[in-house]
Amino acid sequence: MNLRFYIYLLVCGVFWGANQNKISAQQTLFLDVVLKIDTSSYSLNNNRYVFQNQSYLAFRHKDKQPEVELLFYPLVYNPSVELRLMPSGQFEEVDSLLYINGSYRTVIQFTDLSSSQFVSLIFEEKRGGQKIQYHEIKLLPNLVPVVRLPRKDDDLFIGEVKEFVLTTQYQDYIRTSPDWVSTADYDYRILYDQGLKLQLLPKVAGKLEISITPTTRKFYINAEGEFVNQAKPIKATFNVKNTRLQFLSVDVSEIPFEFSTPRGIEIQIDYNRNLQLKKTYRIEDQIEPGGVFIGELYTRSMLNNDKVLCWIRPFALHKISDGYLYLKDGDESKFITNLNINPKQSISKVSILREGGDWSNTLSLNPGENAFLKIEGTGLNKATFSLDEGIELKPDTVNSNENVRSFRNSCKRISQASAVRFCKHQLW
């Protein structure tokens, strides 16, 4: 019995010793934790937020790289206990951790809260020079985004895209997309083009009330205490007027600018009794004669769905946001329509930016190396890029457009072989 008892104590001691280096999430040395930022103060006791059974100290911030003061109040102060704040890529320690006036105090500066959903503070506890345990304090940075729609003109026209500049605290907090979102009365999209913009395309005449909810890149705590990733809706009222010419909608919003199809691209356009079949209409960008020649539309046959089957042959690029397209018989405008004529997708240059370096065309990477990837070409706003393993890359929409696609931290977690295959084979 004595031998079994000693073996039992030995096994318990081994397991107890092995668990001492684990991070303690439930048990902590601290009675409370206080975070001071700007003129505000937040404490773990008063500003605790529980998410997925984990406790967080939630705090609001305005800057991406704020400097904060942290006060840690111990349950019992023991001068023989040595505490050290472990380094992290999420922040830099400005002032060392010291025990002053009943609390441990330090000052840290966050690296970039725009890319950090959660932040962890890890403390190493030592007694007599021996490592005892790690303690974790979880922080929840909280930025409540507000998106506003300032405008001077309340009049819109059917089929005409109206572009508005949106104002917000941080443009890169709002998720953008080149794709249109369709509703019963209007289509819209939020995109970044030298600023955050809303493009609105009304479909029906009369009073138009819009309610558009932007999506945020990060979750945040709203006024009801909910963890959400949507900003408050953008609401506005407009007066939509009919156009002088009949607007004919097409079944596609975008076509490629491609010369390899001499007959043209097959589309369907709305039927109108004045639209002649077996006729070629000239497409220009203005109602008056002498506009830019955009392309040709040939009406082939009537369909059962009240549409007309056509061939369209583009000869120039066009964006919906640039204005109407006019279908002309000679120099006389007969109808209006609109769609995007996009350049053919092509890649002319691939560059990599390493930390502390400049943009380089040398595409080899070391395993685990953190880098930024930039792809230059034409028609890239609709292109999708992925690694050989099928991992989808997340674009940096703030620095991306139809000619440049940027990817933040795109090669951080992939092997050297994968990065080289992606950059040299899939793109070239």
pLDDT reading at 91 higher than 60? yes
Using DSSP bridges, classify how beta strands 119-127 and 227-230 pair: parallel, antiparallel or unpaired.
unpaired
Identify which of 411, 395, 393, 423 has the alpha carbon closest to the alpha carbon of residue 354.
411
Which helix (H) or strand (E) segment holds residue 51: the answer is strand 48-51
SS3 call for 8? helix
Return the amino acid letter for 56: Y
How far apart, in Å, are the Cα atoms of 352 and each of 119, 123, 357, 362, 416? 28, 36, 10, 7, 14
Query: Is residue 5 scored above 70 in pLDDT?
Result: no
Residues 176-189 pLDDT 10s: 988 889 899 999 99
- CA separation (Å) from 287 to 41, 241, 245, 299? 61, 18, 10, 20
User: d(Cα 299, Cα 277) in Å, to the nearest integer?
Assistant: 5
Specify the pLDDT at position 275. 93
Q: Give pLDDT, residue 342.
A: 85
pLDDT at 369: 66
pLDDT (0 to 100) of residue 260 = 57
Question: For the chain, which domains are there?
Answer: 2-142 (2.60.40), 147-241 (2.60.40), 246-342 (no CATH), 346-426 (no CATH)
User: pLDDT class for 358, splitting at 50, 70, 90?
Assistant: confident
**Residue of 281 and 419 predicted with greater confidence:** 281
Ramachandran angles phi, psi of 195, nearest 5°: 130, 165
**236-246 pLDDT, tens digit each:** 999 998 877 88
Residue 89 has pLDDT above 70, yes or no: yes
pTM: 0.56
* Cα separation, 224 vs 230, whole angstroms: 13
DSSP 8-state class, residue 304: T
Tens-place pLDDT, residues 35-63? 999 989 999 999 998 888 888 999 999 88
Q: CA 373, CA 349: separation in Å to the nearest integer?
A: 11
